[in-house]
């Protein structure tokens, strides 16, 4: 599966007296794009723009030939309609819902949360795939770091998104666990063949996932030569 | 027993409870809505709007009553319109007492709700949006379940405040026994008329109701959130 991603956006961010200019342009046909850079370089803002959580001032974003954002044409697909998965740095699991409900969250659209015993095929699949069966009824704060990440991944992937966006996915983990979860994500991505964009400041992530590596520096993107 | 519950004191209590329940309901809906708006949306004049909406809490009730008369009185902007189109007159009805109590109690829900909504991590709402849930769905499924204790705390205070509302209510609803004479107004009338027995009974009833509400407020909002 090839999925071409086109990003060409500009955004001026202000907080107090600080003005930050985001000017990001890249195109990739790779299913493993890694954007690396120091914290505060604008990586998260770029990822949020792709997910529809931040609206750029100008430019356009297209994913697999589908236009998600085009300022000139007045197109701005809502985050709900973009069909992307987003893995937040600290996972953003719903603290009031158990593991089962967290995973089922995106499968049930309406105004009510899934039941605590929600027994859906897709939920069963992800609980088994990530060995979460024994913690299915537990709340996020009762889980270990690795389990939390698995729940977040399962929740993001259950609605069968077209792309996976990862914001510093291993930063919240212990170094030992980091290695294992990297291998797990690596195998998962290959198995699902889902296109992913990963942002990180960790060189280990770059060597593990970087098929197409871009470097972000003070709001600007540049191609990163392979070492 | 039948005559006991037809005592003016009990009639006043029943009326007070009815007025306070409706007023709390109105304050809950409006306070939650505006509380969410002020906590989550960035717009010009946000803090000014907050101040305007909090005004009923600090203004003398008589001033508030005057504003309400200007608004819903027979000659008032809304009052004249209601009279003309629907033949509805609000002044000196129990519904006017509801409006007065709701306006006075509304800022308590607003303050509690805004503070509670502001403690909810916006990333959780963003996560829900990306998972395909509509904005109102996100509010019902994520924001409200994580903020309900604060909203409820404000609501119970609003109920207690509605029960005690006096000044604005007297101005717009008057003091018609059995119709608009609430507990707090009945106390005033009893003291004025030198009916000490009635006054004592009314004061005891009011105190018991208020203590009950406050105990309930403390019981219902212990700090046992499953977060962290």
Q: What does residue A68 show for φ and ψ, rounded to 5 degrees? A: -100, -30
Domains of chain B: 2-60+91-220 (1.10.3720.10)
Closest residue by Cα to residue A102 from A121, A131, A127, A84: A127
pLDDT at B220 (0 to 100): 66
Chain A residues near residue B228 by CB distance under 8 angstroms? 95, 141
Measured CA to CA, the distance from residue B142 to residue B152 in angstroms comes to 16
The tens digit of pLDDT for each residue in A39-51 reads 888 899 999 999 9
The tens digit of pLDDT for each residue in A52-104 reads 999 999 999 999 889 999 999 999 999 999 999 999 999 999 999 999 999 99
Interchain pair B140, A106: CB under 8 A: no
The tens digit of pLDDT for each residue in B199-215 reads 898 899 889 988 888 88
Measured CA to CA, the distance from residue A118 to residue A184 in angstroms comes to 26
pLDDT at A14 (0 to 100): 87
As given in the structure block, the two tokens for residue A190 are 């290959």
Question: Is 60 exceeded by the pLDDT of residue B160?
Answer: yes
Task: Give yes or no for B91 touching A (CB within 8 A).
Answer: no
Chain B residues near residue A95 by CB distance under 8 angstroms? 124, 146, 226-228
pLDDT at A1 (0 to 100): 52
Measured CA to CA, the distance from residue B11 to residue B13 in angstroms comes to 5
Among all residues of chain B, which has the CA nearest to that of A161?
Answer: B131
Q: What does residue A219 show for φ and ψ, rounded to 5 degrees? A: 85, 0
Task: Give yes or no for A74 touching B (CB within 8 A).
Answer: no
The vertex-A45 CA angle with A42 and A49, nearest 5°, equals 140
Residue B204: CB atoms within 10 Å:
11
Interchain pair B133, A105: CB under 8 A: yes
In this complex, the residue of A52, A139, A159 whose CB is nearest that of residue B131 is A159
In this complex, the residue of A84, A90, A95 whose CB is nearest that of residue B130 is A84
- Grade residue B5 by pLDDT with cuts at 50, 70 and 90: low
Q: Give residue for tokens 């202000």.
A: A14
Among all residues of chain A, which has the CA nearest to that of B124?
Answer: A92
Task: Give yes or no for A155 touching B (CB within 8 A).
Answer: yes
Interchain pair A51, B130: CB under 8 A: yes
Question: Is 90 exceeded by the pLDDT of residue B153?
Answer: no
Question: Is 70 exceeded by the pLDDT of residue B194?
Answer: yes
| Chain centre to alpha carbon of residue B198 | 27
SS3 content of chain B, % helix, strand, coil (to 5): 80, 0, 20
pLDDT at A58 (0 to 100): 94
Interface test with A, best of B130, B149, B225 (most A CBs within 10 A): B130
The tens digit of pLDDT for each residue in B27-77 reads 999 999 999 999 998 889 999 999 999 999 889 999 999 999 999 988 888
Question: Is 80 exceeded by the pLDDT of residue B221?
Answer: no
pLDDT at A226 (0 to 100): 52
Q: Report percent pLDDT > 90 for chain B.
A: 59
Task: Give yes or no for B128 touching A (CB within 8 A).
Answer: yes
Task: State pTM to two decimals.
Answer: 0.85
In this complex, the residue of B130, B134, B141 whose CB is nearest that of residue A86 is B130
Chain A residues near residue B133 by CB distance under 8 angstroms? 80, 105-106, 109
Q: What does residue A220 show for φ and ψ, rounded to 5 degrees? A: -115, 145
CA distances from B212 to B184, B191, B206 (A): 17, 24, 10
Tell me which residues of chain A have a pLDDT lower than 70: 1-2, 225-227
Question: Is 90 exceeded by the pLDDT of residue B137?
Answer: yes
3-state secondary structure A41-110: CCHHHHHHHHHCCCCCCEEEEEECCEEEEECCCCEECCHHHCCEEEECCCCCCCCCCCHHHHHHHHHCCC
Q: With 0-12 CB in 10 A as exposed, 13-18 as middle and 19+ as buried, what is A176?
A: exposed
Residue B57 near residue B104, CB atoms below 8 Å: yes
Question: Is 90 exceeded by the pLDDT of residue B113?
Answer: yes
pLDDT at B117 (0 to 100): 95
């Amino acid at each position: 599966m090839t999925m071409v991603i086109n990003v060409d956006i500009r955004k001026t961010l202000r907080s107090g007296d600080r003005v930050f200019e985001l000017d990001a342009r890249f195109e990739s046909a790779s299913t493993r794009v890694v954007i690396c850079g120091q914290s505060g370089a604008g990586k998260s803002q770029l990822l949020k723009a792709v997910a529809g959580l931040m609206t750029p001032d100008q430019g356009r974003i297209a994913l697999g030939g589908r236009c998600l954002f085009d300022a000139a044409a007045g197109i701005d697909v809502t985050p709900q309609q973009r069909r992307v998965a987003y893995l937040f740095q600290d996972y953003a699991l719903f603290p009031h819902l158990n593991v089962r409900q967290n995973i089922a969250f995106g499968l049930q659209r309406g105004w009510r949360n899934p039941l605590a015993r929600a027994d859906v095929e897709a939920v069963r699949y992800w609980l088994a795939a990530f060995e979460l069966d024994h913690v299915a009824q537990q709340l996020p704060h009762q889980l270990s770091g690795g389990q939390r990440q698995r729940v977040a991944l399962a929740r993001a992937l259950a609605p069968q998104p077209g792309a996976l966006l990862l914001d510093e996915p291993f930063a919240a983990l212990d170094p030992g666990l980091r290695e294992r979860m990297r291998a797990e994500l690596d195998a998962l991505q290959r198995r699902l063949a889902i296109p992913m964009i990963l942002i990180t400041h960790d060189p280990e992530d770059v060597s593990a996932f970087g098929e197409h590596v871009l470097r972000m520096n003070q709001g600007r993107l540049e191609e990163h030569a392979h070492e | 027993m039948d005559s006991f519950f037809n005592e003016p004191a009990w009639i006043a209590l029943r009326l007070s409870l009815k007025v306070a329940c409706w007023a709390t309901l109105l304050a809950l809906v409006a306070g939650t809505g505006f509380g969410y708006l002020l906590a989550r949306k960035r717009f010009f004049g946000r803090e000014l709007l907050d101040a305007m909406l909090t005004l009923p809490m600090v203004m003398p009730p008589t001033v508030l009553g005057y504003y309400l008369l200007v608004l819903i009185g027979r000659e008032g902007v809304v009052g004249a319109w209601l009279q003309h189109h629907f033949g509805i007159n609000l002044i000196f009805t129990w519904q006017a007492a509801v409006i007065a109590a709701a306006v006075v109690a509304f800022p308590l829900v607003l303050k509690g709700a805004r503070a509670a909504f502001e403690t909810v991590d916006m990333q959780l709402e963003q996560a829900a949006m990306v998972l395909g849930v509509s904005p109102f769905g996100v509010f019902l499924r994520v924001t409200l379940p994580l903020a309900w204790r604060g909203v409820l705390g404000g609501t119970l205070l609003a109920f207690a405040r509605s029960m005690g509302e006096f000044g604005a209510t007297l101005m717009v609803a008057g003091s018609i026994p059995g119709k608009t004479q609430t507990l707090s107004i009945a106390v005033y009338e009893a003291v004025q008329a030198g009916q000490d027995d009635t006054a004592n009974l009314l004061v005891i009833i009011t105190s018991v109701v208020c203590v009950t509400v406050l105990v309930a407020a403390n019981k219902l909002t212990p700090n046992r959130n499953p977060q962290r």
